[in-house]
Amino acid sequence: MLAIIGGSGLTQLSNLDVQERRVIRTPYGESSGVLSFGRMRGRDVLFLPRHGYGHSIPPHRVNYRANIWALKECGAQRVVSIASVGGIRADLNPGDIVIPHQIMDYTWGRKNTYFDGNDVSVTHVDFTHPYDENLRRQLVLSAAAAGIAVRDGGVYAATQGPRLETAAEIDRLERDGAEVVGMTGMPEAVLAREMELPYAAINPVANHAAGRGKSAEHVRFEHLSEILNEVMSRVRTIIDGVIRLL
Ligand code: HPA
């Protein structure tokens, strides 16, 4: 079963025919909200809004461990994460869609592993390729089949938030090789890996990153919802198509 984690601008999947909602208790506390079990294109799909249904949980307070655990517990076999980003690369504009292939973690203080505690043996998961290449490929194919332009590959930098970055921080991220910046990509991706869940992401670009393009002076978050509404309809189409490919 495919699980979708929705981000800002995607707290519901309008093309999901919801059959049941379930609260899942996990050893790590509560997930961001009830899980929606539904059907799309005749297939079972699980949906969880990362920031809660009222968009009330900020990135640094999302219970990533509970979320991934709950999806696995409910039978998810793969996870597609939707997470909006700021564009760092000069040729990325609001409304563009990136299917990232690499990630860098600048977050701190988040509970970022299941292999924790006295009774757990020391475990170092391989994370060379943080996104599942097969699932990534299917997202790219689905977009192509629907005539939706996406950027195949990109380096995602995960920042702590909830504040936006300074222009100097974005310069540093770019020197480090980052192309997009967001606040929720980690530890979500590594927890999925620890749970052996293939994981890939769709990153709609909501804004130019701080100090870049139209954000040269400041990042105007008030415009973001308009852009996200439009881009999320393309994201839904990509998801719809990927279900047929899986
Ligand atoms: N920075 C960090 N996270 C984001 C941004 C940004 O500019 N835009 C959307 N999520």
Contacts of 80 (CB under 8 A, 6+ apart): 2, 3, 4, 5, 135, 139, 199, 200, 201, 202, 239, 242
User: Rounded CA gap, 117 and 197, in Å?
Assistant: 22
The pLDDT confidence band at residue 167, using thresholds 50, 70 and 90, is very high
pLDDT number for residue 205: 96
- Domain, as residue range, for 191: 2-245
Cβ(24)–Cβ(73) under 8 Å? Answer: yes
158 Cβ below 6 A of ligand 1: no
User: CA angle at residue 31 from 97 to 57, to 5 degrees?
Assistant: 60
Which amino acid residue places its CA nearest to atom 5 of ligand 1? 86
Taking 90 as the threshold, does the pLDDT of residue 226 lie above it? no
Which amino acid residue places its CA nearest to atom 9 of ligand 1? 85
Query: 106-116, pLDDT tens digit by residue?
Result: 999 999 999 99
In the chain, the percentage of residues whose pLDDT exceeds 70 is: 100
Which CATH number covers residue 164?
A: 3.40.50.1580
173 Cβ below 6 A of ligand 1: no
Look up tokens 């900020």; give the residue. Answer: 58
Taking 90 as the threshold, does the pLDDT of residue 29 lie above it? yes
pLDDT number for residue 19: 92
Query: 170-193, pLDDT tens digit by residue?
Result: 999 999 999 999 999 999 999 999
* Cβ neighbour number for residue 115 with a 10 Å cutoff: 11
pLDDT number for residue 10: 80
- Torsions phi, psi of 118, nearest 5? -70, -30
Cβ(155)–Cβ(100) under 8 Å? Answer: yes
Q: How many domains does the chain have?
A: 1
164 Cβ below 6 A of ligand 1: yes
Taking 80 as the threshold, does the pLDDT of residue 133 lie above it? yes
Look up tokens 């998961």; give the residue. Answer: 125
User: Rounded CA gap, 179 and 92, in Å?
Assistant: 9
User: Rounded CA gap, 9 and 240, in Å?
Assistant: 17
Closest by Cα among 17, 23, 58 to 38: 17
For a pocket test of ligand 1, which of 81, 181, 203 has the largest count of ligand atoms closer than 8 A to its C-beta?
181
Helix runs in 150-223, H state only: 167-176, 188-194
Taking 90 as the threshold, does the pLDDT of residue 147 lie above it? yes
